[in-house]
Amino acid sequence: MYFFEGGANLERIRSLMQVQNTLWIYRRIGKRCLDLCVSSILLILLIPLYPLVALLLLVFSGRPLLFTQTRTGLLNQPFQILKFRTMKNSVSNTSKLSFHWNDGVPNDFIFKSPHNSEVTKVGAILRKTSIDELPQLLNVLRGEMSLIGPRPEIPEITNCYNDLQMKRLSMKPGLTGWAQVNGRADSCHGHKIDHDLYYVNNCSFKLDMKILMLTIVAIWRGKGAY
């Protein structure tokens, strides 16, 4: 009986190791291949949309068309995120932000608000449909972001992370993620961290496909997008 149980446990260990190796291969190689293929195809398919968005912005908002901002990426490395400009002023006001949390970002903290007087009428439409995020496909191609992962925060917030919250920076930030299909901007910071850590611990091709499908549903409904 002892040898039987030992053999069964050994098989379970081998099976677990195979799963872990498969996950490692996907996270290190497969995920990047998926990013390159899907982002390249989307950039090509959406070519007719870019001139229309540019024209709307030029007529109703003026220049610049793109908005850039420093965000925190993989392993706490900063990068410049790209978006279509949705606010009246192109200059980011995050430099005026200052947070002083000693024990990490509070769980009830919510950064976005549905009532922002600086968002233009065209910008509100772009945000509602998530079209403003499309330039980030270039961030994905450059390897700064992934299609799926924790959404990138501003350094003013990530500088206050505690050890647990820092774990969400162990993966590339994504265009969409598990937190985004479970509340988007409506979620408080604590819920986002819980969802992001779930993704970090359970990242797989199957979960990524599920998130992509749920993202389409979330964009269609437009709930929680400001």
Mean pLDDT across 22-38:
86
pLDDT score of 70: 95
Residue 226: predicted pLDDT: 44
pLDDT in the model for residue 61? 83
Average of per-residue pLDDT values in the chain: 83
Mean pLDDT of 188-195: 90
pLDDT of residue 68: 93
Domains in the chain: boundaries: 28-221
Q: Which residues contact 168 (CB under 8 A, 6 or more apart)?
A: 150, 193, 196, 197, 200
Using pLDDT thresholds of 50, 70 and 90, give the confidence band for residue 225. Answer: low
Asked whether the predicted pLDDT for residue 136 surpasses 90, the reply is yes
pLDDT of residue 5: 46
The model's confidence at residue 218, banded by pLDDT at 50, 70 and 90, is confident
Q: How confident is the model at residue 219 (pLDDT cuts 50, 70, 90)?
A: confident
Does the pLDDT at position 111 exceed 80?
A: no
Residue 21 has pLDDT above 60, yes or no: no
**Which has the minimum average pLDDT: 29-43, 110-124, 144-158, 192-206?**
110-124
Q: Give the pLDDT of residue 178.
A: 93
- Supply the DSSP string of the chain, one letter for each residue: -HHHHHHHHHHHHHHHHHHHHHHHHIIIIIHHHHHHHHHHHHHHHTTTHHHHHHHHHHHHT-S-SEEEEEEE-GGG-EEEEEEE--BS--S-SGGG-----SSSS-TT-----S--TTB-HHHHHHHHTTGGGTTHHHHHHTTS-EEESSPPPPHHHHTT--HHHHGGGGS--EEE-TTGGGTGGGS-HHHHHHHHHHHHHH--HHHHHHHHHHHHHHHHHTTT--
pLDDT at 47: 92
